[in-house]
Amino acid sequence: MKKLLFLLIIFATFMSCTSPEDSIPQDAQSVKPLLIGDSIPDVSLQSAEGESINLTDFNRENTLFIFYRGGWCPFCSAELSEIAQIEDELYERGVTVIGISPDQPSYLQQSMDDIEFDYKLLSDSNMAASKAFGIAFQVDSETVQSLKENGMDIEERSGQNHHLLPVPAIFLTNDEGVIEFQYVNPEYRTRIDKDVLLAAVDAMIKS
């Protein structure tokens, strides 16, 4: 009995010392994103102006959350541009658009200058939101170095050395903060078609 109690104490001590990072998937294919029916996590992020914004502030409106890897990613920039093409249609349907990436606020402004759109970008530099949505994964050191050599320094962009990125993802939530639609694809080159996205919005509104 004493031996069992001792082992339980050792196990509890080990678990209490385990870093949250230990539970982060080691590759994009292993993420476990929030699903339809789940609620928006209580996480605060920063705008390009440095304003603190909590994601639960959007619980009272239909919201499209776009998680992207950063302004350094050409596929992400293309996606932001494509969504900008349907921005007016989304607003007409009562949908607020929010882009979220690991880029620190100063780089958010750079993306806003490079791409013409009106929706808000938020900085998830510490990856709190990406973790809460279940889409954060660990980037191996070889890939980090390769990106850096090609002018895509994720440490500089985020201001952090956690070497985490989000799997590109779309979460559409209703005015009660509940996910009605999600698209999460570990293949970062493939993004959701804007017409499919509008169809998902229309389906949510009609339901």
Q: What is the pLDDT of residue 110?
A: 82
Q: What is the pLDDT of residue 117?
A: 84
- Locate the domains of the chain by residue range: 23-44+52-206
Nearest to 120 by CA among 130, 128, 112, 132: 112
Class of domain 23-44+52-206: alpha beta
Q: What is the pLDDT of residue 105?
A: 93
Render 30-45 in DSSP notation, one character per residue: G-----TTPBPP--EE
Half-sphere exposure of 130 (CA within 13 A, CB side): 34
C-alpha span between 35 and 33 (Å, rounded): 6
Q: What is the pLDDT of residue 21?
A: 44
Positions of the chain with pLDDT lower than 70, given as ranges: 1-22
